[in-house]
Amino acid sequence: MNNPSDAVGAALRAARADAQAQVAALTLDLRGVIDASLDSNADDEHDPEGATIAFERAQVAALLAGAHRRVAELDEALARLADGSYGRCERCGQPIPAERLAVRPSARTCVGCAR
């Protein structure tokens, strides 16, 4: 139970669950925005409401893409944890400082190499 990789695995899985929940929530949001645009005549580009909805839709879509990416990154981090390469910089091979992993559990490189 005191194996540090257990704690890391739990943190990664918790972060993945959060990201997955965000994907679900944003997918619903996006559907809501699309439905709203179908309800009104907002597909008329001269309608100011249409521009707002298009903007909102783009914003939600961007957030959704980000959440999908986080899920994928955390999946990769879990795979690296399983094969023993987790926490090591992909570029220089040095261990990634724990503080960086605490902030960004899916980090693949140390701060120096991330620049």
* CB count in 10 Å sphere of residue 84: 9
Distance CA 38, CA 74 (A): 35
Which CB atom, from 32 or from 95, has the smaller least distance to Zn ion? 95
Q: Is 110 in the site for Zn ion (CB under 5 A)?
A: yes
Stretch that binds Zn ion, among 25-33, 42-50, 66-74, 85-93 (CB under 5 A): 85-93
Give the shortest CB-97-to-Zn ion separation in angstroms: 10
- Does position 101 interact with Zn ion (CB under 5 A)? The reply is no
Query: Rounded CA gap, 58 and 65, in Å?
Result: 10
Considering the complex, state which of residue 68 and residue 100 has its C-beta at the smaller distance from Zn ion. Answer: 100
Phi, psi at residue 2, to the nearest 5°? -90, 5
> What amino acid occupies position 2?
N
The footprint of Zn ion (CB under 5 A) covers 89, 91-92, 110, 113
